[in-house]
Amino acid sequence: MAKLRVGVLGAHAWAEKAHLPGWAAHPDVEIAAICDIERSRAERMAEMFGAKAVYTDHRELLADASIQAIDVCTPTVTHLPLSLDAIAAGKHVMSEKPLHTQAQPAFDAAAAAAAKGVRTKLGFTFRYSPAIRRLKGWIEDGTLGEIFHIHGLEQNSQFLDPDYELRQFDVSSPRDRLIPASIVGYGSHLVDLMRWLGGEFASVASTMRNFVPERLVRGLEGRQRFQVEDGTVALVEYERGAHGMLQTSYVAVGNYPGIEIRVYGSKGAAVARLVTEFGQAETLTLAKADDVEFRPQALTEAELPPGTTLATPWPELYFRNLIRFFVDEIVEGRPEECTFLDGAKSQQIVDAIVAAHFGRRWVDVGAA
């Protein structure tokens, strides 16, 4: 079988740690070309991961008709325009999150991909945690019964130190008002996970805060006073009636990636903890209504992407799994999941959480 030929846009930190190892590990994939506006970066990654072609202009890469899929791993503001160009060129597209900081352009991109008949995937890394996927299975097969409560945390201490530079930050942001940040960056992942597990959100209430008043931001000299939102707490009413609670934080002490999901149902409860500790990427525990102690659950080899263990660093572990699913969806025509449409819906929920904070009221999702 001919290999799926992939072109990767963006050749820096996250591409090196997560995306390129994921593509390189797949036996049915050829990394055909790498593009970065900084040529030396593209050349270095091409040498490390065996790509034959290097570009500095994505349009030249897209003109190669033999390339079937594009991976967008560039700064946030470029995700949407690069993805739209790839769709227009008739390529399947995987993009880093968020596709856009507003929901409507993301909905439009999802519609453009559907009209063109190409597959999409959004980089919602944690859907591809083996523990989270097992938990999802327990919800679907009834092991947990009717779902009452879903609690989601995404927090670590990445930006606790004011001298650690905040990246992906618009330096022209106003200085006199709170700038939604952790709920946008971390939050889009977390609300996607909670929506995937519990179904559509009906309504949200929230509170957001800046905890570190001055810090370094990429692009400006010295510590800057911006009211960057470091932490958000939200309450959720699900359409199916479950209750949800979520928290995102840049300044909560603990290791990466700092995801914890707890699901409580009428028959059982499960906790997936994606926090790298003592050499292991994640843990999963399960309690039953008639056996209420949370017992550790072993994940089987078949639940992990081939060649990985729970000691594999989490960016590579989860991205190898995400890419494995994307390739199977394209090559075997399997149903899509974790698409641009999911990205748009996650963004819509983030917008509602932000509106609830500023309006100090409950906001129905889609009405923000």
Ligand X SMILES: NC(=O)c1ccc[n+]([C@@H]2O[C@H](COP(=O)([O-])OP(=O)(O)OC[C@H]3O[C@@H](n4cnc5c(N)ncnc54)[C@H](O)[C@@H]3O)[C@@H](O)[C@H]2O)c1
Site of interaction with ligand X (CB under 6 A): 9-15, 35-38, 41, 58, 73-76, 78, 82, 96-97, 123, 125, 168
Polymer length of the chain: 368
Residue 229: CB minimum distance to ligand X, A: 16
Instruction: Please name which of 95, 93, 34 lies closest in space to residue 68, comparing C-alpha atoms.
Output: 93
Radius of gyration for the chain, computed over Cα atoms and rounded to the nearest angstrom: 20
**274 contacts 260 by C-beta, under 8 angstroms:** yes
Residue 72: CB minimum distance to ligand X, A: 8
Instruction: Please name which of 140, 63, 155, 129 lies closest in space to residue 272, comparing C-alpha atoms.
Output: 129
In whole angstroms, give the CA distance from residue 71 to residue 58: 11
Closer to ligand X by Cβ: residue 30 or 36: 36
Closer to ligand X by Cβ: residue 38 or 239: 38
Instruction: Report which residue's Cβ sits closest to ligand X.
Output: 12
Instruction: Please name which of 231, 212, 208 lies closest in space to residue 223, comparing C-alpha atoms.
Output: 212
Residue 11: CB minimum distance to ligand X, A: 6
Dihedral angle computed from the Cα positions of residues 143, 144, 147 and 153, in that order, rounded to the nearest 10 degrees: -120
Residue 9: CB minimum distance to ligand X, A: 5
Sign of CA dihedral 275, 277, 281, 283: negative
Closer to ligand X by Cβ: residue 36 or 351: 36
Residue 198: CB minimum distance to ligand X, A: 21
Residue 111: CB minimum distance to ligand X, A: 22
Closer to ligand X by Cβ: residue 26 or 58: 58
Closer to ligand X by Cβ: residue 122 or 234: 122
In whole angstroms, give the CA distance from residue 252 to residue 87: 38
User: Strands 291-296 and 224-225: what pairing?
Assistant: unpaired
Closer to ligand X by Cβ: residue 10 or 187: 10
In whole angstroms, give the CA distance from residue 26 to residue 129: 17
